[in-house]
Amino acid sequence: MAEKADKVDSGVAEAKDAIAKGYKNPSGRRPEKQRIWERGREVLKQPIVNRGTAFTRAERKELGLVGLQPVGVVDIDGQMRRVYEQYRAQPDPLSKNLFLSAMRDRNETLFYRLLAEHLEEMLPIVYTPTIGEAIQKFSHWYMRPSGVFLSIDYPDDIEEAFTNYGLGSEEVDLIVVTDSEGILGIGDQGVGGVMIATGKLSVYTAAAGIHPRRAIPVVLDVGTDNIGLLNDDLYIGARHARVRGKRYDEFVEKFVEVATRLYPNAMIHWEDFGADNAYRILDTYRQRCCTFNDDIQGTAAVVVAAALSACKTAHTPLKDQRIVIHGAGTAGVGIAELMRDEMVRAGLSEREANSRFWCLGSRGLISARLGDKVRPFQKQFARSEAELKDWDVDDPKRIDLADVVRNVHPTMLIGTSAQAGAFTEAIVREMAEHTERPIVFPLSNPTSKAEALPADLLEWTDGAALIATGSPFEPVVHDDVTYEIAQANNALVFPGIGLAVTVCRPTRITDHMIAAAAEAVGRIGAEGGTGSSLLPPVSMLRAVSGSVAMAVAQAAAEDGVARVEVHDSVQEVFDLMWQPTYRPIEAV
C-alpha cells in the first residue's frame, strides 16, 4: 500500500505544475489544428468553433468572415479581460450565471478559459448554490436547448434522441443523467433538472479537461410531483405526476441499454435521483456497466478524504474511530459504506467495521426496534436491541442524537441531515470531553441548513475540532490562530474519476477505484500545519483532478477492469485533458 501511494505521489508535483499551466502551453506540443467546415455566419453560430474577435485577418478570409465583425483582432487574453469585466458588472449571482451560460453558448473555449482561471470564484455560480435558482426558473428563462431530453411518455424515442445529438460511438466519454427528483436542497424540479447535468459537465471540463464535445447531459423526464410546476402555464416538461414503479424501471432500463450500446466507452453519471431510486439504480447497474453516482459515491469519497486527513492530524487511524452519522440517507450511508471498506482494508472484519458506526435517520437511531421502517440500504448499520437495553436515553421510544453521543462517546460526528443547528453546544461539548481532537463535519447544504457553524465548533472545543463543511466558509480566527475551513466539495473527486475513465476505459467503477480517489485527495489535504484546511482548495482543482485520475486508473488496472493499459500516468492523463486554447485553423 505504501509503495502504491509513493508511486502516485511521485507524479503529483509534476502534475500540479503541468496541469495548472496547461491551457497556456499544452504540454509543450504543437496544438492540433481545428478543422472547420462551416463558412460565414454559420462559423459564428458554433460555440466550439467561434472565437469572435480572435479570428485573425487570414482566418477571416478563409472562413468567409470578412465584414461580419469589427476589424480589430483581439487575442484570448484581451477577450478574457473584457468578459471578466462584464462578468464582474453583473448585479447578482443569478445574473452572473446567466451571463456565463450565454457566453458558453457563444464561445465555449473562452468560457472554459475564464472558468478555469477563476474557478474558485465562479464554481458557486456555475454550480451549487446559484444553479439551484436557475433550475427553478428554467421554463421561464428557456432560451437554447442543451442536452438530451428523454420523456417517459415516448420511450421508443430514446435512440432517435441520442442519434439526433450527433455524436458517434467513439466520441462520448461521459453521460450525466438526472431524473430531477432530488435536486440539491430544492427537491423535485422536473425537466429543469437538465441544468444540473449541464452544470456538472461544466465542472468536469473546467476541473479535469473533459472535452465539452465528448459529454452528453441528459434529463429523464418522468413527470413531476412539484404542484407549482404542474400549475405553471409555462412549464415545458411532461405535465403529469412523477411516474414510479415498473414503468419507471423499464424506462431507466431502456435508457441504460441504448446508452451503453451506442456509447460503449462512456461512463454514466447518475445525479440527484431521489433516495428511493438512487441506491437501487446504482446497485442494479454497477456490475453491468461503467456507472457512478456522485451523490452516493462522490460525496462519500470527498468526506472520506477529509476524514483520512483529519485522522492523520489527530494521529488516530480511521479504523479506531467511533463514528456517528446524523442523516442516514443515500449520502450518509454512502459515506459509512466507503469508510467501512477503508477499515476492512486496514485489517478489520466487515462486522467489526460496521460496529464502528451509529447512524440516525428521521426516526432516530437506526436500530432493530424500528422494524420495517428501516430502509434496505440502512439495515447493514442497524444496532441490535441487546446493545441498547442498558443505554441512558431521554425517551426509550426514540433514541436521538444527544442520546447517541452521550452513550457512544464518538470521535467523529458527521451531519447529512439538513437540520440546521443539530450539532448543539451541549452535544459538541459532550463529545469533546471524551476525545482530544473531535472530528466534526456539518455537511448539509446550503449554509442555512448546516448542522453547526465552524466558529461555534472551534469555540466549544477550544480550537481542538477538526472541521469540514458542505458549504464554503470564510477562515475563522480563534485564539490568534487562523483556521482554514475545508469544504467537502464533490468537485475534488468526480472530475478526476471521469478523467480516469477517458484514460483507462474501465468496464465498471469499482469500490476500490472510489477509495483510491478518496485516498489521493486525502493525501493532498493532509499536507498543512496548524489551522490548515483538511482538504485542498478549489483553486487547485486541475492538479487535484490529475492526481485523482492517476490513482483511479491505477486502481482500475489492479482490479482488472481497465481496457487500456497506462504506462506513463502523468503524461497520459495530461495529454487527455482538453485545454481551453484557440488552436490553429484548417479550413476544409
Residue 448 has pLDDT above 90, yes or no: no
Q: Residue 407: how many CA atoms within 13 Å on its side-chain side?
A: 17
Boundaries of every domain in the chain: 2-28+492-575, 34-128, 133-289, 297-488
Report the Cα 25 to chain-centroid distance in Å: 28
Look at residue 450 in the predicted model and tell me its pLDDT: 93
CATH number listed for the domain at residues 297-488: 3.40.50.720
Look at residue 276 in the predicted model and tell me its pLDDT: 83
Q: What phi and psi, each to the nearest 5 degrees, are found at residue 551?
A: -65, -40
Report the Cα 161 to chain-centroid distance in Å: 26
Pairing of strands 364-365, 357-361: antiparallel
* Pairwise CA distance, residues 522 & 503, whole Å: 22
Look at residue 150 in the predicted model and tell me its pLDDT: 98
pLDDT, average across residues 570-576 = 92
Catalytic-labelled residue, pool 16, 200, 312, 449: 200
pLDDT, average across residues 336-363 = 95
Residue 27 has pLDDT above 80, yes or no: no
Q: Which residues contact 145 (CB under 8 A, 6 or more apart)?
A: none
Catalytic-labelled residue, pool 23, 87, 112, 127: 127
Dihedral angle at the C-alpha atoms of 34, 102, 173, 117, nearest 10 degrees? Answer: 80
Residue 481 has pLDDT above 90, yes or no: yes
Residue 31 has pLDDT above 60, yes or no: no
Q: Is the model more confident about 377 or about 220?
A: 220
Cell 479550413: give the residue: 587
Residue 19 has pLDDT above 80, yes or no: no
* Pairwise CA distance, residues 15 & 18, whole Å: 5
* Pairwise CA distance, residues 376 & 29, whole Å: 53
Write out the three cell numbers for 520.
489521493
CATH number listed for the domain at residues 2-28+492-575: 3.40.50.720
143 falls in which pLDDT band (50, 70, 90)? confident
Write out the three cell numbers for 262.
451506442
Look at residue 528 in the predicted model and tell me its pLDDT: 65
Look at residue 22 in the predicted model and tell me its pLDDT: 43
* Pairwise CA distance, residues 337 & 291, whole Å: 17
190: left (phi over 0), alpha (psi -120 to 50) or beta: left
Nearest to 393 by CA among 419, 360, 351: 360
Residue 505 has pLDDT above 70, yes or no: yes
Nearest to 303 by CA among 289, 318, 292: 318
Look at residue 445 in the predicted model and tell me its pLDDT: 81
CB count in 10 Å sphere of residue 460: 22
Look at residue 5 in the predicted model and tell me its pLDDT: 44
pTM above 0.85, yes or no: yes
* Pairwise CA distance, residues 199 & 215, whole Å: 12
Look at residue 126 in the predicted model and tell me its pLDDT: 92
Best CATH choice for the domain 34-128 from the list 1.10.10.10, 1.20.120.1200, 1.20.1370.30, 1.20.120.430: 1.20.1370.30
Q: What is the DSSP letter of 72?
A: -
Active site residue 246: no
Look at residue 526 in the predicted model and tell me its pLDDT: 60
Residue 190 has pLDDT above 60, yes or no: yes
Tens digit of each residue's pLDDT (9 = 90 or more) over 353-377: 999 999 999 889 999 888 878 888 8
Fold agreement (2-28+492-575, 297-488): yes
DSSP collapsed to 3 states, 398-462: CCCHHHHHHHHCCCEEEECCCCCCCCCHHHHHHHHCCCCCCEEEECCCCHHHCCCCHHHHHHHCC
* Pairwise CA distance, residues 427 & 405, whole Å: 7
- The reply to whether CATH 3.40.50.10380 applies to domain 133-289 is yes
Tens digit of each residue's pLDDT (9 = 90 or more) over 66-116: 999 999 999 999 999 999 999 999 999 999 999 999 999 999 999 999 999
223 falls in which pLDDT band (50, 70, 90)? very high
Active site residue 200: yes
